[in-house]
Structure 1
Amino acid sequence: GLPATSLAWGLWADSSAMTGELDDADVSRMSRGGVVALSATEGLELFDAAGRLGEAVLVPMSLDMAALRAQAGSGALAPLFRGLVRVPARRAAEGVAASGVLARRLAGLDEAQQLDVLLDLVRTNVATVLGYAGPETVEPDRSFRELGFDSLTAVELRNALGAVSELRLPATLVFDYPTPAVLAEFL
């Protein structure tokens, strides 16, 4: 008959059975997403605070608000965080000026040049999402699975490419178009 509190913990800095499998790329992806690891001291303080609040569900985690604001400004903020970050409303003229940048860049190019630009775009975003040194380290004909993609990184890539291309891309993008070269051709 006692009330319960459920804690949906964020990332802890100390390695544990749950976080022991995370590699540097996983932690880097979370950091880019605005989630910062909690120290044991911070975690214990949040645990004590949760007990005092008496709420049914809490999410004790540390967030990089600058990273979240940057994501919100680019339109790439995860829906989970949208209520936490305020960004100034874009003026209509800014929205018009920002739209179509990739399309304008491709407009004056022949088909081969367009494909080169799109392949570079895909490779650059793959490198960013996976934490690679640069786009040159992403082999165009290597499958996304071999490159290290999982369902989370697949969605992150889809969101990044969708924001740049202004296309509504499917969640199954890297599975439907399994290499950077094939994806560039699709785009």
Structure 2
Amino acid sequence: MTASLTSADTARMTRTGMAPLSAERGLELLDAAIRRNSPVAVAARWEFDGVTAPEAISPVLRDLLPTTPGSGAEPAPETTSGESLLDKVLHEVAVVLGHSSAGAVDPHEAFDQIGFDSLTVVELRNRLAKEIGIKLPVTFIYDWPTPTELVAHLREQMDDRTAGSAADAMPAEPAEDAS
């Protein structure tokens, strides 16, 4: 069932704390689960030391994360204010696809051509919402098919938000005296 996992699939699993299993170990765990007198059993191996994005872990499992300093469960450092929006998007794309750097991502190539599937689209959407604060529709890779086009859309959204905030902050016009 997992023989066709790509390195990106394995990287996604690792980010959520789930370690790959050999076929032999998976069958051992399945046999053990069948022997249990329990309504639910999960045949999985959890390795939270390599987790780089604790928010990617299911809330049910977050209490299992190590909290000691240097444990990999620490949040990633804040991005620098000088980092461009395109750099942020490319970084998130690279993380989701399991690349070691944003330089591995061509900003002009279509998302569906660089390896995105339904799971990775949702993961990128969630990561961008957390990083940038703009929630995208699930269809975003079809609406804005390349990182460059997506960045142009995000900039428009950010400009609209900024303009709306500035308009809200403007004082109201004084009422004219009717007398």
- 2:96: which partner in 1? 129
- 1:62: which partner in 2? 45
Uncovered stretches (5+) of structure 2, i.e. residues with no partner: 66-77, 155-179
Q: For 1:60-139, list aligned pairs within 5 A.
A: 60-67=43-50, 71-72=53-54, 75-77=55-57, 81-86=58-63, 105=81, 117-139=84-106
Deviation string for 1:142-170 (max 9, x for gaps)?
10011111111111111111111122222
For the pair 1:180 / 2:147, whether they are aligned, the reply is yes
Cα RMSD (Å) of the superposition? 2.7
Cα displacement (A) at 1:27: 1.4
Seq. identity, %? 40
Structure 1 counterpart of 2:137, which letter? P
CA distance in 1, matches of 2:34, 2:56: 34
CA distance in 2, matches of 1:76, 1:40: 26
Q: Which has the higher contact order (CA 8 A, sep 6+)?
A: 1
Uncovered stretches (5+) of structure 1, i.e. residues with no partner: 1-17, 88-100, 107-115
For the pair 1:37 / 2:42, whether they are aligned, the reply is no
How many residues end up aligned between the 2 structures?
142
Cα displacement (A) at 1:136: 1.9
Give the match's secondary structure for 2:152: helix
CA distance in 1, matches of 2:30, 2:100: 38
User: Retained in 2: the 8 A contact 1:76–1:159?
Assistant: no
Structure 2 counterpart of 1:117, which letter? S
Where has structure 1 moved over 4 Å in runs of 4 or more? none
Normalising by the residue count of structure 1, what TM-score does the alignment of the two structures yield? 0.64
Cα displacement (A) at 1:40: 4.4
For the pair 1:168 / 2:128, whether they are aligned, the reply is no
